Structure 1
Amino acid sequence: MPTTTKRVEAIAIVHPNAAGLDIGAREIYACVPPDRAGETIKVFGTCTSDLEQLADWFITHRVDTVAMESTGVYWIPVFELLEARGLKLSLVNGRHVKHVPGRKSDGQDCQWLQKLHALGLLTGSFRPDGEMCALRAYLRHRADLVQHRAAHVQHMQKALQQMNLLLPQVVADITGETGMASVRAIIAGERDSVKLAQFRNVRCKSSEETIAKALTGTWKEEHLFALTQAVALYDFYTEQVAACDVQIERHYGVMKPRWEPTAADTPSHAPAQRRKKRKNEPAFDVRASIIRLTGVDLAAVDGLGPNLAQRILSEIGTDMSKWATEKQFTAWLGLAPRNDISGDKVLRSRTLPSRNRAGQAFRQAATAVARSASAFGAYYRRKRAQAGPLFAQVAAAHKIARTVYHLLKYRGGLGGHGRGRVRPQAAGTRCAGLAEVRRQIGVHTGRPGGDRRSGVRLRVVRWPAASRATDCRCLGVSQKSGDAAWGEHPIRIKLRKGRTCGMVAITTSTTDQQERPMPSIPQIAEAMQTLLTATAQDAARATGFHLRQRRMSGAQFVQTVVLGWLAEPNARMEQLVAVAADCGVAITP
């Protein structure tokens, strides 16, 4: 009987001159290809002279690319020195190069890195070019200074509170004009609360009498000393932030743009409306510097602004060729879900935890557009209505990141993603749909008159309440109580379960002259909470609701479970009907 043989192709060597480095605080383990003459594994120190010897050793063994793994920031001087000597460096994530269990040592790690890098199986971490990397270092240092300064503001508040000086309770911010003037007068020796209240700015909402009453305290010597030092440290960090801003502005001036600027291509950066300057913004024109560097106005993207725009720019750079597609870019930011697939089935789809600073900035921008009248704001609210605020934050951040990617790569216009631009057809479609719902259920405004003493009170029940105001306005319902809408037919709530939809009618009746208001679904859920506490998870799983509990509050989760139970006819329906009857609601499945 003939035998068959299967040909196994060996993995090709992609980088024949690859080396591996395992970097620590005191020692660096280096490995060159095994076909080189002499010793292939060597240990070096971490001093500058040792790093020079390491570079000479690599060049002697004809190494042209190096993969390195490190703890903390020990890799930075090694990276910069070897890069200056003409070597191509790749900093790899330790999670991506795990060895076989039980074989862990620095010498084996550098060998394993060299082998994987030679086979082309490693992906280096992103690092911007030299000028952008320096800007990133300045901005990160500035953020640290602002954070350290904030701690001393808390120390000032603590010292004031210990003397029962309630200044933080009567002014919005003690680092504002009114707050700091009062604090500095206290340090200078002023103890008269009436005179201290005269430092009130005309824009302060609290009156002088209220401030004078709040600034009557005990004046303990030890707390005054702590307050004095906290103010001195606050002033010191403020000076350091100002000096850092000067250095950042100087660095912007020496940075060279990657494009050839012309008068026709340079966008105008004049703001559409006067913008209030924020407290921690730099003193120079950040927006103009970004436009000169990139050729596009990133600050005009809704949700960004100058501060977030320069943070993002310093983290991702201006060269978008590092990411072939926008999908790769958003995945690197941590804004794309990772699908765990087994047997052609998606087991889970979620975004992984990420400490990417650019991704965090995009999430912050997504939160900023939650209430804005822009395309991003409307998109955020639609997604929030679907799956909650966390889902909407990631989805909106993903969309903003794609816009920034296209702006930097193609230097095109904003299209419909600028400030104050929203699709009018979306709101019109929603209003028309709600008007049709209102017509079908027979709702009319005004109380029933004559012999019409029974009816149904309509309440808009949605979670999360993303578009509650729009729904109430289109249905003719008062947003707070629903008093203005009555109908002749039961209210029907559509329940989605898989691909099928069920209808549940919830009715209530009124007596001759007395009204019995209909409880809303959250009120019913609160009454059923005791019944559903032990079986909430099982009920939600059995009825097909797979929303994660962490995406919603406890009341919203119970509300979801109640609607799921209403859609499931065999899930102890008689108990739900009995509890609902006690609430004054008749449930007719």
Structure 2
Amino acid sequence: MEVINPQAAGIDIGSRSHWVAVGQTEQDVREFGVYNQDLFGMADWLKERNIKTVAMESTGTYWQNLFAVLISRGFHVILCNGKFTKNIKGKKSDVMDCQWIQKLHTLGLLSSSFLPDEQTEQLCTYCRHRSNLIHSAASTSKKMQKYLRLINLRLDVVVKDICGLTGLLIIRAICDGESDPLKLAALRHGNCRKSEEEIALALQSNDRKDYLFALQQELETYDHLQQKIEQCDVEIEKKLAQIIDSDQDKREHFIDPKPHKRINKNTPKNIDLNLKSYQMFEGTDFLAIEGMSYSTVLALMGEVGFDGIKRFKTAKHFASWLRLAPNNKVSGGKVLSSKIPKGSNRLKIALRNAANAIGNLKESTPLRDFFQRINFRKVRVSAVSATARN
């Protein structure tokens, strides 16, 4: 086969050491550690061997520091998916792995994975950390509901969300030592559908001190997580302002607020995502699309960004990267399979959630009608995937 990259190296990424191959002989392979001085030593050794381009697997998070060092030294780095380098025959070792990667890269058989720009990557870190905090808070909420049930305080029956306005007021009063059902029911918020009498009937405690102690601990954890989420929102706002203020084309756009758009408790309160997203994507109003929520737009900004979307040639390439396009397998003129490939990311999950919300709409819209047609011919799972792809 024709050599495409003659000055190429292959790196097998590890947690304790990295194996580097610049050729197929034993003398062309070296092992380097993972400390900072080892990474710079690897870059110097590659410079001595006149290497121009480097290929490596995206193994966990171990590749990130090495990737940054090699990019700063002027190397062209290819970060490839590990499934494209696992066809080696015979015995498997770190030396053989790095030589196999080097051979594939020399022949031009490896393609680079998508990586966002530095600003979008930093925003992605904040957004993902915020999402993890929300999941932790949801887990803490379930534990509070469990301990309330063990104390025989069936707040979950009379209140839709125990971490809503009414639920948190009652839980805080319980943790402060209040046990009178009537006084607890008097804390009911005006928007609560249940009456004070119904709430009081559900708040007959069995006075278990151990469960009450555990409930107090979980409430403190929940409050701590909410504080961390607010701090994360401040950092996200700073990063969005930095990205938008550095680009004149983004700053000049303005859009009126959407008061009809629902804002739930997990939506950042200090960020006008309607305006920020409109400026980020230079005049594209994603929130005008039915089913799109603030969390979906935030995931879109954090995972790919405006410059990241432009790096895909067509919308079909973008849908394929999201694992939303059918993977047709044809042999002998016969379609063997057309299932969507395995794999997922946070943006795919957000778009599927938006598509599911479109399927629940009562009013007729183009996307909702499309969803119903697919749902009628196939199943809801296929309709969700097809609508998310559109």
TM tier, smaller:
over 0.9
Matched-pair identity in %: 37
Instruction: Answer whether contact 2:21 2:29 (CA < 8 A) is retained.
Output: yes
Q: Which amino acid aligns with 1:255?
A: I
1:386 matched to 2:377? The reply is: yes
Q: Which amino acid aligns with 2:10?
A: G
Q: Give the match's secondary structure for 2:306.
A: coil
Kindly name which structure, 1 or 2, has the bigger radius of gyration based on alpha carbons: 1
Task: Give the TM-score normalised by structure 1.
Answer: 0.63
1:364 counterpart residue number: 353
1:288 counterpart residue number: 275
Task: After superposition, give the CA deviation of every residue in 1:88-146 in whole Å (9 maximum; x if it has no partner).
Answer: 22221111112333231111111111111111111111110100011111100100001
Q: Give the match's secondary structure for 1:56.
A: helix
Q: 1:262 to 1:287 in 2, by over 3 A?
A: closer
Q: 1:369 to 1:39 in 2, by over 3 A?
A: same
Q: 1:321 to 1:16 in 2, by over 3 A?
A: farther
Aligned-partner Cα distance in 2 for 1:261–1:169: 51
1:233 matched to 2:221? The reply is: yes
Task: Give the TM-score normalised by structure 2.
Answer: 0.94
1:375 CA drift (Å): 1.1
2:92 counterpart residue number: 104
1:152 counterpart residue number: 140
Instruction: Answer whether contact 2:292 2:354 (CA < 8 A) is retained.
Output: yes
Q: 1:72 to 1:294 in 2, by over 3 A?
A: same
Aligned-partner Cα distance in 2 for 1:100–1:19: 17
Alignment of 1:130-279 (within 5 A): 130-256=118-244, 260-261=248-249, 266=253, 268-271=255-258, 273-279=259-265
**Equivalent pairs, count:** 385
- Please, which of 341, 346, 368 is the counterpart of residue 377 of structure 1? 368
Taking CA–CA contacts closer than 8 Å with sequence separation of 6 or more, which of the two structures ends up with the larger relative contact order?
Answer: 2
1:258 CA drift (Å): 9.0
Q: Which amino acid aligns with 1:130?
A: E
Aligned-partner Cα distance in 2 for 1:288–1:45: 46
Q: Give the match's secondary structure for 1:318.
A: helix
Relative to its length, the structure with more helix (as a share) is 2
1:345 matched to 2:331? The reply is: no
2:3 counterpart residue number: 13
CA-atom RMSD, angstroms?
Answer: 1.9
Task: After superposition, give the CA deviation of every residue in 1:183-225 in whole Å (9 maximum; x if it has no partner).
Answer: 1111111111111110011111111111111111112110110
Aligned-partner Cα distance in 2 for 1:249–1:209: 43
Aligned-partner Cα distance in 1 for 2:235–2:17: 34
Q: Which amino acid aligns with 2:377?
A: Q
Instruction: Answer whether contact 2:137 2:225 (CA < 8 A) is retained.
Output: yes
2:343 counterpart residue number: 354
Instruction: Answer whether contact 1:258 1:318 (CA < 8 A) is retained.
Output: no
Q: Which amino acid aligns with 2:388?
A: A
Unaligned runs of 5+ in 2: none
Q: Give the match's secondary structure for 1:28.
A: strand
Q: Give the match's secondary structure for 2:249.
A: coil
Instruction: Answer whether contact 2:329 2:337 (CA < 8 A) is retained.
Output: yes
Q: Give the match's secondary structure for 2:97.
A: helix
Q: Which amino acid aligns with 1:351?
A: I
Alignment of 1:74-89 (within 5 A): 74-89=62-77
Task: After superposition, give the CA deviation of every residue in 1:283-312 in whole Å (9 maximum; x if it has no partner).
Answer: 211221122222122222222122201202
Instruction: Answer whether contact 2:32 2:38 (CA < 8 A) is retained.
Output: yes
Q: Which amino acid aligns with 1:294?
A: F
2:389 counterpart residue number: 398
